[in-house]
Amino acid sequence: MTNQSFENELEPLWNKAVGLYKSGNRDAESYFSNDEKLFLSSIGVTAREVYDFAEDFTQSGEPDFKTFALVHEVRRSYFDEVQKGKLSSQTVAPSTFPAKTDEVRGIVWLPRIIEKAKVKLHGELDPDTMYGCGGDRRFFRDNNVDPAEFLRIVWKNETNNEPIVSWVEGQRKTKST
């Protein structure tokens, strides 16, 4: 599946989720038909993840569809290339993530977002946890970090956080210049 066909199949589901959320439907599992859920599963994405992005977009105007699609394109690639199309049977509780106030080299939230990104890549997010939530978006904005690009950097350095931290430091520097 090309990125364009991926986006063409994903966008109607995004629009549907945004419309259902705006209409007052808060039951994420009711949003999609079995065929639509099968498509989402084939790319390693859950109905709840679509719901979470649609909810935040409806409430705060972000993240937009492009961000949603780029994040889930990285997840789909990881799902295909690393997981060979097999969903993980694990779910990681948010209580296992570093605290929101934890920092590395003075960068608050970085230890937490690194772990959330790994869990997102693996498709193991708890239904009540969103990669790209308001706190994550503040981190991305404050540090000049694109959420999809961050996922790619985490994927590339999955077993070694040091290059991830250095990359974020570099992004911070480009923001201040």
How many CB atoms lie under 10 A from the CB of residue 79? Answer: 23
Give the integer Cα–Cα distance in Å for 124 and 56.
20
Helix, strand, coil distribution of the chain in percent, nearest 5: 65, 5, 30
Q: What is the pLDDT of residue 173?
A: 84
Q: What is the pLDDT of residue 174?
A: 86
The pair phi, psi for residue 109, each rounded to 5°, is 85, -15
Assess contact for 128 and 94: CB atoms under 8 A. yes
Q: What is the pLDDT of residue 5?
A: 79
Q: What is the DSSP letter of 44?
A: T
pTM of the model: 0.93
Q: What is the pLDDT of residue 4?
A: 64
| In the chain, domain spans | 1-86, 88-177
Q: What is the pLDDT of residues 42-72, one digit of tens each?
A: 999 999 999 999 999 999 999 999 999 999 9
Q: Shortest CA distance to 134 belongs to which of 121, 123, 147, 124?
A: 147
Low-confidence ranges of the chain (pLDDT < 70): 1-4, 176-177
